[in-house]
Amino acid sequence: MIDIKLLRENPETFYTSMKKRFQDASIIDRFIEIDAKWRENTKEVNSLRNKRNTISLQISSMVKSGGNTQELKDQVKDINLKLEIIEKENNEIDNERIRIVNMIPNIIEDTVPVNKGDENNKFIRGNGIAKVKKEDIKEYLNATEGTGKYVEIAETVSHVDTMEKFNLADLERATKISGARFYFTKNRLLKLELALINYGIDFLSERGFTVMEPPPMISGDVVWKATDQATFDDAIYRIDGENLCLISTSEHPIAAMLMNETLDPKELPLKIGGFSPCYRKEAGAHGKDTKGIFRVHYFKKIEQFIFCRPEDSWDFMEELAGNTELILQNLGIPYRVVNTCSGELGNLAAKKYDIEGWFPNQGKFRELASISNDLDYQARSLNIKYRTPDGNAVIHTLNGTAIPTERMMVAILENFTDGDEIHIPEVLIPYTGFDTIYAEN
RNA sequence: GCCGGGGUGGCUCAGUGGUACAGCGCCAGACUUGAGAUCUGGUUCCCUUUGUGGAUCGGGAGUUCGAAUCUCUCCCCCGGCGCCA
């Protein structure tokens, strides 16, 4: 959540930010209106409680000296009646106040392009030599602002056909027992998946990240503090009859693990590499990417997460992006980095980079990773602070994908097959134990 | 799931109806050439920050003039039993 004090002092900042996101900013006016009323009531509640406490103390000493306390007791009862009325009203006001505050998004950073639609994300840089079909060359050059290197290829194969031909997955039987967007992974594809995971864990360990697998379920109120309404509604599965949700990313349990803690500044920055299953309803994606394992209800992912001091978070955002880019370079997947435009930014993020891999058969760049700086927004909801000489301050949190396992397998299948063989990226060979997948495997 | 013991500031813990103890740690100041020791103050949140203000003892509800303390309920931790990869 945002800083309420800052909202009071500086509502224009939030107004501007919401306008940039093409959201209705009138809730800010409503907040200011009811916040004033809430403060007024709070003052009165406090002064009535003060009276009650004072009289209560009088009763206490009178009881000890044996005096008659009935009149004072009646006075307190009277105060309690008044309090009940004001407190009830004020609780209702406070509920609305907090509901509004939770709807106000993070303050957008200055370099974020103000626009709607993913097609208006701003190209930052690209890398790699892409395999591009003739009809996709225009699209490719357009997406890289003319800077992209490529080789023209005549034919591509979809990852679905490749998996079928090489006996790497069973999608139909998964659909039979679990419904759409599920899959059985088979044979060398399973080895490839485990190799990607192991490679990613080593990569982050070597760079100062503490690697961990978090609980795959967390309680509903914790999810709520770690994310926003849109994610909650579109992505999160709830366990029937329990106050538990399946995580949609390891970001949430990792962010929440320090909930309600005050850290020693010496502990910062804290760099966490999270590996976990991810469960997503994909409620807002009906009809999109329905074939194969590109968009599924269950996948695995290695995530980067950083808790840091406020002054360091923008540098760490570049570091996170750099890590993900290096992984893609090492794997040999051509990619581009875009600065996500204001209209497509989630409420938590002040700025977000999407890192998109080139998928030759789809003929376009698709999201493989996203790197966000949430500033103090997520940490304030989770109440994570650190000690400073001037008192406790809210820390900053950042998150970024390192390896989205299933999607990365699709990228590898599309980029490294010639139809007869699939070539394993060199950095993965020590982990897979083989360098090629053949149709007969 | 059952039985028992617990949950109090960053940490360890006292507190069985009347203003939340103490120690440790940490921060600042004093003393010191410096460090240590010592001393003083501070070290949860809220109210447009000062007021002998309010809230806060795992969460919520109740009894009472007044609840860390009594009642109900939920959550979590430790030990034992049961079950079990």
Is A45's CB less than 7 Å from nucleic acid strand B? yes
pLDDT of residue A441: 60
How confident is the model over A374-385, as pLDDT tens digits?
999 999 999 898
A198-212, A229-243, A252-266: range with highest mean pLDDT: A198-212
Residue A389: nearest nucleotide (C-alpha to C1'): B27
Through-space separation of residue A47 CA and nucleotide B20 C1' in angstroms: 22
How many Å from the N-terminal Cα to the C-terminal Cα in chain A?
Answer: 51
Is A262's CB less than 7 Å from nucleic acid strand B? yes
Is A57's CB less than 7 Å from nucleic acid strand B? yes
Mean pLDDT for the stretch of residues A30-34: 93
Each domain of chain A, given as residue ranges in start order, spans: 4-103, 118-438
Alpha-carbon gap, residue A264 to A313, rounded angstroms: 17
SS3 A329: helix
**Contact predicate A112/A20, CB 8 Å:** yes
Mean pLDDT for the stretch of residues A251-261: 91
* The pLDDT of residue A434 is above 90: yes
SS3 A306: strand
* Alpha-carbon distance values, A52 to A19, A75, A82, A251 (Å): 46, 8, 11, 46
Is A392's CB less than 7 Å from nucleic acid strand B? yes
How confident is the model over A14-25, as pLDDT tens digits?
999 999 999 999
pLDDT of residue A318: 98
* The pLDDT of residue A399 is above 80: yes
Domain A4-103: state its class.
mainly alpha
pLDDT of residue A214: 92
Interior/surface letters A190-202, b for 16+ CB within 10 angstroms, e for the rest: ebbbebbbebbbe
Residue A77: nearest nucleotide (C-alpha to C1'): B65
**Contact predicate A226/A274, CB 8 Å:** no
**Contact predicate A147/A126, CB 8 Å:** yes
Global pTM value = 0.93
pLDDT of residue A124: 97
**Contact predicate A107/A337, CB 8 Å:** no
Is A383's CB less than 7 Å from nucleic acid strand B? no
Is A142's CB less than 7 Å from nucleic acid strand B? no
Q: Band of the pLDDT at A221, cuts 50, 70, 90?
A: confident
Q: In whole angstroms, what separates CA A344 from the centre of its chain? A: 13
Query: Using CB atoms within 10 A of its CB, is residue A75 exposed (0-12), middle (13-18) or buried (19+)?
Result: middle
Mean pLDDT for the stretch of residues A158-183: 94
For domain A118-438, give the fold: BirA Bifunctional Protein; domain 2 (3.30.930)
Alpha-carbon gap, residue A156 to A132, rounded angstroms: 9
Beta bridge partners of A273: A211, A304
Q: Band of the pLDDT at A340, cuts 50, 70, 90?
A: very high
Residue A261: nearest nucleotide (C-alpha to C1'): B10
* The pLDDT of residue A411 is above 80: yes
Through-space separation of residue A10 CA and nucleotide B18 C1' in angstroms: 45
SS3 A285: coil
SS3 A180: coil
Show which positions of strand B are touched by protein (CB under 7 A).
10, 18-19, 26-28, 43-48, 51, 53-55, 65-66
How confident is the model over A116-143, as pLDDT tens digits?
999 999 999 999 999 999 999 999 999 9
Q: What six digits make up the tokens of A325?
A: 């880019």
A422 phi/psi in degrees, rounded to 5: -115, 125
Mean pLDDT for the stretch of residues A262-267: 82
Among A410, A429, A431, A434, smallest CA distance to A195 is for A431
Question: Do A4-103 and A118-438 have matching folds?
Answer: no
Mean pLDDT for the stretch of residues A241-257: 91
Average pLDDT taken over every residue of chain A: 92
pLDDT of residue A71: 86
Is A364's CB less than 7 Å from nucleic acid strand B? no
The fraction of chain A above a pLDDT of 90, given in percent, is: 73
Alpha-carbon gap, residue A329 to A291, rounded angstroms: 27
Mean pLDDT for the stretch of residues A172-183: 94
Q: Band of the pLDDT at A58, cuts 50, 70, 90?
A: confident
How confident is the model over A353-362, as pLDDT tens digits?
999 999 999 9
